[in-house]
Structure 1
Amino acid sequence: MGAIVVGVGPGTFTGVRIAVATARALSLALDVPVLGVSTLGAMAAAAALGLARGGLVCARAKRGEAPGAVLGPAPGAEMPLMVVPVVDARRGQVFFGIYEAVERPAHVDGAELGAGPLWARTSAFAACDKEALAQAVTAPSLVVAEDHELLGELPTGVASAVVEVAAEWLVIGQESLDEPGGGPCGWRVGSWLREALAGNVPVWPEGVKPIYVRAPDADVHITKMKDPWVRTAGGRGSPAER
């Protein structure tokens, strides 16, 4: 094993902590570099690759069902200008990110990019009530989620598709994303992996940090017990720091 790539959330607080802790431990034990990629970024990568291939990537209609649903706009539909990945945040809320289509340069910092548009995230990940998601998207857009039940009523012109959160999307399709911050994420993942496998990336597991977006349930309950009227940090509609 030459390198480790791990999903760092957002997601369930315990699940994200376990994934990050395991990846850090493996990095130290095997003396290999580790990279964290967001769960929402993985879903956006799946959507971007599906759109670049003409919407011919299969997804699951519901948990446990065989693949069969087609990811992407219906034939003749307008190509989306925005991709919005969504995951369950519990408490009647969802985590989401907004990726906007921008012109794809032939090369960026020496990294060769694939076909189709580049999907750029220009704002932090956020959490909101399911019903409020419609206010964050504008047509034409494609909203991708693990389950259609996570989505409320969407505006006219906003398509939706179901995408399974799978580990391969932490790498595959990332070349179609432009993430903020300039770190080894989005289209830079490929370059990072090449350097890591060549032994040119330092082993620094402490650099992989979870993305929580909001405070864990336990902190919220404790805060409300102390002051029932307080609005907790990272609450409804509050953006993440990343």
Structure 2
Amino acid sequence: MDPSIHPGGSAPRDPPVHPGGSAPRDTPVVVGFDTATATTAVAVTRGGEVVRERGVGRGPDGRPRHAATLLPEIEAAISDAGGWERVGLIAVGVGPGSFTGLRIGVATARALAQARGLPLVGVGSLAALARGIEVGAGASDRPVLALIDARRGELFAALRPRAGAELSAPFVTSPEALIERVSRLAEAPLAAGDGSLRFRAQLEAGGVEVLADEDPAHRIRARHVCDLATEARAGRPDPIEPIYLRRPDAEVWRDRRERDQRADRP
């Protein structure tokens, strides 16, 4: 099992992937990254081929390392691609996911795009996760369910209800409500993501097929962020705004403390 998937786990850096490729060296490259989950995912592609890809999991303290690792990983990837002068597009995952992680990723993307004078495209993190399920797990001919652990006993989800259909807009749901929703599908969906691992028992009891724990499709791959951004740029890219779906946990806990304090007053 990949320990970067579960809360409290720790994982070393993945070794960088250098598949090479046949695209000409002067083809503009795309740098893409995602920080919606505990993994810091960074990739550079050229002509749709991966130049470098790496994922960095939680630190020894069990916490994500986005703030410490995102920029160094981006710079290492850009160096492998020949430098910033080769870059034609920046792509960033915009959630939903961790409030802090999204804030770091989107702020970094905006700063780099402004400093380098490069176009910037936002990609739904669940869309990138779903693309990984379709490609990596060979699920192009069946329903797909991308799930990110939203904490508080909930999930961030996106569903492709049948082969050839569009992926749904992201939504937040309880496992029970999700099972009720997918029970109406003609075929059981194939699910992946850290949310599917956290609620595996409930989902499988409800008829959802969850990929094996060690399957790489459970992690958002930055190569898919790059691919989806390239496709979106051909149309009209959406504004670069994080998709939160809910208020941050810190605000919820603050309001709860304030209510408790008011209730304790004479």
- Equivalent positions of 1:11-160 (< 5 A) are 11-50=97-136, 55=138, 72=139, 80=142, 82-101=143-162, 117-122=163-168, 124-138=169-183, 139-146=187-194, 148-154=197-203, 155=205, 157-160=207-210
Compared with structure 1, are the counterparts of its residues 152 and 96 closer, same or farther at alpha carbon in structure 2 (3 Å cutoff)?
A: farther
**Partner residue of 2:253?**
221
Q: CA offsets, 1:24-73, max 9 Å, x none?
A: 0000000001011011000111122246xxx3xxxxxxxxxxxxxxxx59
Task: Tell me whether 1:168 sits opposite 2:223 in the alignment.
Answer: yes
**Greater relative contact order (CA < 8 Å, ≥ 6 in sequence):** 1
Compared with structure 1, are the counterparts of its residues 190 and 125 closer, same or farther at alpha carbon in structure 2 (3 Å cutoff)?
A: closer
AA partner of residue 148 (structure 1): L
Q: SS at 2:146's partner residue?
A: strand
**Partner residue of 1:66?**
none
Q: 2:135, 2:165 → 1: CA distance?
A: 11
Higher helix share: 2
2:239 to 196, 200, 207: 207
**Partner residue of 1:178?**
none
AA partner of residue 165 (structure 1): I
Compared with structure 1, are the counterparts of its residues 210 and 4 closer, same or farther at alpha carbon in structure 2 (3 Å cutoff)?
A: same
Identify the range of structure 1 (21-30 vs 163-172) with the bigger mean alpha-carbon deviation: 163-172
Q: 1:27, 1:212 → 2: CA distance?
A: 22
Question: Is the CA contact (8 Å cut-off) linking 2:179 and 2:206 kept in structure 1?
Answer: no
1:190 to 227, 231, 235: 231
Q: 2:181, 2:134 → 1: CA distance?
A: 19
Question: Is the CA contact (8 Å cut-off) linking 1:94 and 1:150 kept in structure 2?
Answer: no
Q: CA offsets, 1:152-174, max 9 Å, x none?
A: 423565322142211111134x4
TM, length-normalised to structure 1: 0.58
Q: 2:128, 2:250 → 1: CA distance?
A: 27
Q: 1:13, 1:220 → 2: CA distance?
A: 13
Size of the aligned set, in residue pairs, is 164
Q: Which runs of 5+ in 2 are unaligned?
A: 1-86, 261-266
Aligned CA RMSD, in angstroms, stands at: 2.9
Question: Is the CA contact (8 Å cut-off) linking 1:133 and 1:151 kept in structure 2?
Answer: no
Q: 2:145, 2:188 → 1: CA distance?
A: 11
Q: SS at 1:98's partner residue?
A: strand
AA partner of residue 192 (structure 1): R
Q: 1:145, 1:191 → 2: CA distance?
A: 23
Q: 1:152, 1:132 → 2: CA distance?
A: 15
**Partner residue of 2:49?**
none
Identity %: 33
Compared with structure 1, are the counterparts of its residues 135 and 152 closer, same or farther at alpha carbon in structure 2 (3 Å cutoff)?
A: farther
TM, length-normalised to structure 2: 0.54
Compared with structure 1, are the counterparts of its residues 151 and 126 closer, same or farther at alpha carbon in structure 2 (3 Å cutoff)?
A: farther
Question: Is the CA contact (8 Å cut-off) linking 1:48 and 1:119 kept in structure 2?
Answer: no
